[in-house]
Structure 1
Amino acid sequence: MVIRPEGRRARGTGEQQGSVLLPRPGVSPQRQVARRLLAALVVLWVTVLLVYLDRDGYVDNADDDVTFLDCLYYTTVTLSTTGYGDITPASDSARLVNTLVITPLRVLFLIILIGTTLEALTDRTRQQWRLNRWRAALRDHTVVVGFGTKGRSAVQTLLSTGQGRDRIVVVDPHPQAVRTATAEGFAGVEGDATRSEVLTRAEVQRAQQIVIAAQRDDTAVLVTLTARQLNPRINIVAAVREEENAPLLRQSGADQVITSASAAGRLLGLAMLSPNASSVIEDLIQQGTGLDLKERPVTKAEAGRSPRDCPDLVVSVVRGHRILAFDDPEAATLELTDRLVVIHRASRTRPEPDDRRGELR
């Protein structure tokens, strides 16, 4: 389903920017036609049965006997509003049934036949209602800009940590990518994410975080600036191809910057030097299977103790804006306000919301 709110048109195209697509169960045209034909046949045979049961109240101009075939013939010409008049209701009961039952069935039959036209007329109203309801319920969600390889991988990681599909909104300028996202159960916004009205359609001003997986580094910078302007408190995670552009992205307001080209190169180098180590790292960054690397808050039971006493393997301790190694003397005693970067088995715990920051842990 495509919902195209009013807005400025894209430069050089006739498409509107910020078209919102909400996921809906797909029904093939053949199945829709089959359903309507079945409904029409049900109405037809119900009417035939009513006429046949009351056949003594009808008069046939050709003969005095109203057979089942006559009832079928009368029903078809009546429901189609043809009405030749050769078979007519004569008794009071037959006329009453025609008035109170067969006439509504005739209207229902016609509605089924012209259902496609009626659906086209009411579709926009229904879509607008769904869109308004979706906007009203959307809070603290995740916006993913770019549904390519990086964006898909980010979405899969979010799903593996417990994020619901209804809490993810995909933004992409390519219609096919947005249609693919909605087919997978995500809401999608078609348009250029560097424009504020497109991100506004994705409700970025009420989002908890945004993942920027654009194809170009300059696009990632512009999206970061726009998102930070619309929501100063949003958590921005962005990917860049070239490492030299990472500082610019941080200055633009990104909280975390991932250099995709350099990271892939380091993994390639590590795979040559230490194949088993690269396999472990690949397992760590793939959430939901084997070992998982995650960040979580310190529990009350862990406060005041050493990182080595934690049930998970502690890699780093986040204290304020500093990241301390597990063997750093300052991290020897954990504080309740600390956060831990740990390694744990994926099947050990299920993701739970962090009450203090609203993040997944």
Structure 2
Amino acid sequence: MKRHLKSHGLDLRLLWQELQLPFSLLFITFVGGTLGYKLLYPDLELHRLFFMTAITLSTVGYGDVVGAENSPLAAWYTMVLMLVGMGTSVYAVSTLTAFFVEGALGELLKYSKLKRRIAGMREHYIICGAGTTGVHIIREMSRCGVNFVVLDQSEERLHELREEFPNLLFIADDATDEASLAQAGIHLASGLVAALTNDKENLFLTLTARQMNPRLKIVSKAIDLNIGRRLEIAGADYIVSPNFIGGMRMASEMLRPNVVSFLDRMLRGHENDIRIHEVTLPIGSSQAGKCLGELEVFLHTGVRILAMLDSPQSSQYVYNPDHDHKLAVGTVLLFIGNTAQQRKLIDLVK
């Protein structure tokens, strides 16, 4: 079932999709039955024919109001209409009962609430693909407490994720479709992760996302390193190859196991949210023009600055910067800490 919900209230289109067939059959039977009586009794008023059809279909037994018992053809027609009407009515009632008893209405209400929450998101992230790569992205973003929505075609996979993440926001649809991306709030999003199953889909997704939101930060998965250049042309800001990273990781395990163990515990630890974070001096920062030492970062936040970038566009890192290093709007500070310490540093550099 394709889920397209309005930004407020229960989408009546979804409700109609569920109940369309039984109610349509009832309507066709009712109108068709009345037209049949009209052919048999062309001189009788429509309201009497409608009334006759209604009492026949409902089998309430109010009596013969058109004199069908005096006409063999009308009598046979009434009996057939009664049998058809009983079958249609039983089907409609059973479908409606199942709709409420089996919780389908509750599911629709739940999805309506879900879509309202997605429609209200701003500066969030969109994760396209919840497969073997996407699931780890979801877990990490969930641990970091950022706002994100997941786009994946597999409802079964999303249902499994909802068991692990009850508050997961998701859309069960094609991530390369513009309507799905718009529903995920791409025009107001901060970033998008293209983690679909093959490079062609990620390339098309990257191109579509860049056209829909030129300022969007896009990180794309690349199975084949040779497609990296095309992904850059399509609009990807960063390209990640799971195969390349996996190979580097295996070599590092052999050559520098303690470093790998340190990074693993930091990235995979569930008992705390220690990570390597970054904070950028915003426009209008009161700290711009000052030296790093004047911020007294450790005193206010409990973290030490590991490295700096003079601007997000710079490729030259300054490792273990000294206290005299000048700060400017756009300077990026990198440190090891938790999200609470990150928020403190964000407040400090405002």
TM-score range normalised by the length of the shorter chain: 0.5 to 0.7
RMSD: 3.9
Can you list the C-alpha shifts for 1:75-104, whole angstroms capped at 9, x where unaligned?
xxxxxxxxxxxxxxxxxxxxxxxxxxxxxx
User: Is this contact kept in 2: 1:286–1:292, CA < 8 A?
Assistant: no
The whole-number CA distance in structure 2 between the counterparts of 1:353 and 1:307 is: 14
- Counting only pairs closer than 5 Å after superposition, residues 1-361 of structure 1 correspond to structure 2 as 4-5=3-4, 116-118=98-100, 126=109, 129-130=112-113, 133-163=116-146, 167-183=147-163, 184=165, 185-286=167-268, 289=272, 291-298=274-281, 300=286, 304-306=290-292, 310-311=297-298, 312-327=304-319, 333-346=325-338, 349=341, 351=343
The whole-number CA distance in structure 2 between the counterparts of 1:240 and 1:225 is: 14
Can you list the C-alpha shifts for 1:195-231, whole angstroms capped at 9, x where unaligned?
2122223222222211111221221111111111122
> Structure 1 residues 240 and 332 mapped into 2: Cα distance closer, same or farther (>3 Å)?
farther
The normalised TM-score by structure 1 is 0.57
* Residue aligning to 1:57: none
Look up the SS of the partner of 2:316 in the other structure: strand
**How far did 1:281 drift?**
3.1
- Identity across the alignment (%): 19
Higher relative contact order (CA 8 A, sep 6+): 1
Structure 1 runs not aligned, ≥5 long? 7-19, 21-113, 356-360
- Give the helix-richer structure, 1 or 2: 2
The whole-number CA distance in structure 1 between the counterparts of 2:255 and 2:207 is: 39
Q: Which amino acid aligns with 2:199?
A: D
Can you list the C-alpha shifts for 1:134-158, whole angstroms capped at 9, x where unaligned?
3542322221111123212212221
User: Is this contact kept in 1: 2:310–2:327, CA < 8 A?
Assistant: no
The whole-number CA distance in structure 2 between the counterparts of 1:236 and 1:282 is: 25
**How far did 1:241 drift?**
1.9
User: Is this contact kept in 1: 2:305–2:335, CA < 8 A?
Assistant: yes
The normalised TM-score by structure 2 is 0.59
**How far did 1:318 drift?**
4.2
**How far did 1:304 drift?**
2.6
> Structure 1 residues 279 and 145 mapped into 2: Cα distance closer, same or farther (>3 Å)?
same
The whole-number CA distance in structure 2 between the counterparts of 1:259 and 1:168 is: 22
**How far did 1:187 drift?**
2.1
**How far did 1:265 drift?**
1.0
The whole-number CA distance in structure 2 between the counterparts of 1:148 and 1:318 is: 37
The whole-number CA distance in structure 2 between the counterparts of 1:210 and 1:220 is: 11
User: Is this contact kept in 1: 2:129–2:150, CA < 8 A?
Assistant: yes
Look up the SS of the partner of 1:349 in the other structure: helix
Look up the SS of the partner of 1:316 in the other structure: strand
Q: Which amino acid aligns with 1:305?
A: C
The whole-number CA distance in structure 1 between the counterparts of 2:345 and 2:173 is: 31
The whole-number CA distance in structure 1 between the counterparts of 2:110 and 2:175 is: 23
Look up the SS of the partner of 1:315 in the other structure: strand
